[in-house]
Amino acid sequence: MPPTPTKTGHLVVIGHGPAAHRLIEAVRERDTEDYWQITVVGEEPRPAYDRVALTSYLTDGADLGYPAHDDAVRVRTGERVTAIDRAGRTVTTDAGETLGYDTLVLATGSVPFVPPVPGAGTAFVYRTIDDLDALRARAAGRASGVVVGGGLLGLEAARALQGLGLETHIVEMAPWLMARQLDEGGGAMLRRHIEALGLRVHTGVMLDRIEADAVRLAGDTVLPADVVVFSAGIRPRDELARAAGLEVGERGGVVVDDACRTGDPRIYAIGECALVGGQVYGLVGPCLSMAEVVADALFGGAARFAGADTSTQLKLMGVDVASFGDPSADALNVSYTDPVAGTYKRLVVSDDAGTLLGGVLVGDASAYPTLRACVGASLPAAPDRLLFGGTEAVAGAMTEETMVCSCNGVSAGTIRSAIADGGLTDLPAVKACTRAGTGCGSCVPLVKRILDEELTSAGIPVSRALCEHFDHTRAELFDIVRVRGITTFSGLIAECGRGRGCDICKPVVASILASLGTGHILDGERAGLQDTNDQFLANMQKNGTYSVVPRVPGGEITPEKLIVIGEVARDFGLYTKITGGQRIDMFGARVEQLPQIWKRLTEAGFESGHAYGKALRTVKSCVGSTWCRYGVQDSVGLAIRLELRYRGLRAPHKIKSAVSGCARECAEAQSKDFGVIATEKGWNLYVAGNGGMRPRHADLFATDLDTDTLIRYIDRFLMFYIRTADRLQRTASWLESLDGGIEYLRDVIVADRLGICDSLDAAMARHVEDYTDEWRATLDDPERLRRFVSFVNAPGTPDPSIVFEPERDQIKPVIPEVVFP
179 CB contacts (<8 Å, ≥6 apart)?
A: 150, 151, 172, 187
* Cβ atoms of residues 623 and 661 within 8 Å: yes
Q: How far is CA 165 from the centre of its chain?
A: 22
Is 619 exposed, middle or buried (CB count within 10 Å of its CB: 0-12, 13-18, 19+)? buried
Beta bridge mates, 147: 170, 229
Task: Tell me: is residue 273 an annotated ligand-binding position.
Answer: no
Residue 615 identity: A
Report angle CA 217, 218, 223 to the nearest 5 degrees. 20
Is 113 exposed, middle or buried (CB count within 10 Å of its CB: 0-12, 13-18, 19+)? middle
Task: Tell me: is residue 666 an annotated ligand-binding position.
Answer: yes
Dihedral angle over CA of 142, 144, 147, 153, nearest 10: 60
Closest CA to 166 of 318, 64, 58: 58
Closest CA to 311 of 422, 198, 181: 181
What is the arrangement of strands in the sheet containing 200-203, beginning at the earlier edge strand?
124-125, 227-230, 144-148, 167-172, 200-203
Dihedral angle over CA of 765, 477, 531, 533, nearest 10: -20
Task: Tell me: is residue 374 an annotated ligand-binding position.
Answer: no
Q: How far is CA 189 from the centre of its chain?
A: 24
Task: Tell me: is residue 622 an annotated ligand-binding position.
Answer: yes
CA 54, 57, 62, 67 torsion-angle sign: positive
Residue 148 identity: V
* Cβ atoms of residues 30 and 295 within 8 Å: yes
The length of the chain in residues reads 821
592 φ, ψ (degrees, to nearest 5) = -75, -15
* Cβ atoms of residues 716 and 472 within 8 Å: no
CA distances (Å), origin 715, targets 413, 656, 724:
45, 14, 14
Which residues sit in the known binding site for [4Fe-4S] cluster? 622, 628, 662, 666
Which residues sit in the known binding site? 622, 628, 662, 666
Which residues sit in the known binding site for siroheme? 666
